[in-house]
Amino acid sequence: MSDERLGLWSGVGLTMADMVGTGVLTTAGFMALDLSPRLILLDWFVGGIVALAGSLAYAALARRVPRSGGEYRYLSTMIHPGLGYLAGWTSLLVGFSVPVALAALAAGAFASTVTEAVDGRIVAAVLIALVSVAHAFDLEASKRTQDWLAALKGILIAAFIVIGIGAGTNTLPPTSGDSIGSGFPVAPFFTSLIYIMFCYSGWNAATYAAEEFKDPQRDVPRSMLIGCGSVIVIYLLVNWVFVTNLSHADMTDWIRGDTDRITLAHLVMQNLLGPSAATVMSVVVIVALLSAISAMTMIGPRVYAAMADDGFLPAVFRAREGQPPAASVFLQGTLAITLIFLSGFRELLTNVSAILAVVSAATVLSLFRSSRWPAGAAPSIPARVGALVFACMSAWMVFFAIRSSATIGFLGIAIPTVVLWMIGIVVVAAAGYVATRSLQQSVS
């Protein structure tokens, strides 16, 4: 095989790079408004178990359908092309472009902590443009860019954890006296889980580029499981550093008064080692976020290329033999750059997390379509249990996302914005599918 093909450890690096991005550096600040440090850590652990359950289900699907495209390919094969088309449009409109925009915005915010002379949104746009160019024209350059950034991110995150634990207090603060109150806060816990699942959402990264692996039926499932398990440990350690070194007041005052400067890690380093270390940490985080942007820029366009191969997008978005799908790369980059100037951070985070939860739940449930499995190749019991756990938890989280969502009045009815986003994507996808199928039939 060519060196351009991905191996197991490239897949693990791709998975971890896609997962570890904006969310883990910001979400604890939102959660601290309603949850104690112990419940914050428990929430991250629960989210990790849910992601691992999803990985088990996707691993079975990856062995059954060893092709690129992720949810688009799985739903098209296991249920119906129309549902796959809907998943593909979800990936195009929010699944990758929004997370890329959020990661770039966070990087821009950290850049503004280094020097106030820069505009964070301009920095974000430039980063997206540069990464898009790096991934658009050469497969070997794309692979090497991602491998190096993933390795560098791993080193830098490990250094942050070591410093945080080595120089920090490592003692959980008491929960009495804060604003949380008594009893188990069910609604805040599961609403926060929506944000957490956004942070874990890259566990299925390898499925989008499955055909670029040397042995997709072996390496794609292993990449997901090893990568997801490793990130669970990383997330728990990073949040341990946050909750043991930042007071409840630090975290809540920061998020209430400075929502455009995403600086939890900055605050930790400032408290432990002083302003200079905080400035260095800002640079470190920019590199880490750049790795996440790179991973999503590498894998997202493979979905659009797969849709183009099937005739659901114009042929220009296909990948030529031995080359990346350049037009798809630039399409996603353009959408991401547009989004960084349009919407608020927390609103995007809530809406996108809920939408992705619905699509992923539908995907794992496709595993139970017994007629789509060859004789003697039915999914394992762990995969089925994982699918049920993931689907049930996803439904529960979406319920709380809708409950906590902002609303817009229409004909005297208050409609949650999450629901409007879902309806909008379904309408666009349904119209596109019908139009495309009609065109295909008229041509044939």
Q: What is the mean pLDDT of residues 72-93?
A: 88
Digit-coded pLDDT (tens) for 305-350: 988 988 888 889 998 877 889 999 999 999 999 888 775 555 666 6
Instruction: Look at residue 177 and tell me whether its pLDDT is greater than 60.
Output: no
Digit-coded pLDDT (tens) for 367-392: 998 888 887 778 899 999 999 999 99
Q: How far apart are CA 230 and CA 228, in angstroms?
A: 5
Digit-coded pLDDT (tens) for 406-415: 788 777 788 8
**pLDDT greater at residue 360 or residue 248:** 360
Assess contact for 286 and 111: CB atoms under 8 A: yes
Instruction: Look at residue 29 and tell me whether its pLDDT is greater than 50.
Output: yes
Q: What is the mean pLDDT of residues 285-310?
A: 87
Digit-coded pLDDT (tens) for 192-233: 887 788 788 889 999 998 988 989 999 999 999 999 999 999
Does 430 reside within a domain?
A: no
Assess contact for 417 and 402: CB atoms under 8 A: no
Q: How far apart are CA 232 and CA 47, in angstroms?
A: 9
Does 383 reside within a domain?
A: yes
What DSSP assignment string belongs to 311-349?
Answer: TSS-GGGSPPTTS--HHHHHHHHHHHHHHTTT--HHHHH
E strand or H helix that includes residue 413: strand 413-416
Q: How far apart are CA 285 and CA 287, in angstroms?
A: 5
- Specify the length of the chain in residues: 444
How confident is the model at residue 260, as a pLDDT? 46
Digit-coded pLDDT (tens) for 153-173: 888 888 889 998 988 888 887
How confident is the model at residue 181, as a pLDDT? 47
How confident is the model at residue 258, as a pLDDT? 52
Which range among 76-80, 115-119, 176-180, 342-346 shows the weakest confidence by mean pLDDT? 176-180
How confident is the model at residue 108, as a pLDDT? 81
Does 205 reside within a domain?
A: yes
How confident is the model at residue 111, as a pLDDT? 76
Whether this prediction's pTM lies above 0.85 is answered by no
Digit-coded pLDDT (tens) for 425-444: 888 888 888 888 777 777 65
Does 59 reside within a domain?
A: yes
What lies within 8 Å, CB to CB, of 27 at 6+ separation is 192, 195, 196, 198, 199
Residue 108: name the closest of 124, 93, 95 by CA: 124
349: amino acid identity, one letter: L
Assess contact for 35 and 192: CB atoms under 8 A: yes
Q: What is the mean pLDDT of residues 11-30?
A: 80
Q: What mean pLDDT is reported for the chain?
A: 83
How confident is the model at residue 178, as a pLDDT? 43
Q: Residue 256: pLDDT band by 50, 70, 90 thresholds?
A: low
How confident is the model at residue 239, as a pLDDT? 92
- Domain with residue 231: its CATH number is 1.20.1740.10
How many domains in the chain? 1
Digit-coded pLDDT (tens) for 265-287: 777 888 888 878 877 777 777 88
E strand or H helix that includes residue 353: helix 345-365
Range of the domain at 136: 8-405
How confident is the model at residue 175, as a pLDDT? 61
Does 436 reside within a domain?
A: no
Does 444 reside within a domain?
A: no
Residues of the chain with pLDDT > 90, as a percent, come to: 28
Collapsed DSSP state (helix, strand, coil) of residue 255: helix
How confident is the model at residue 219, as a pLDDT? 94
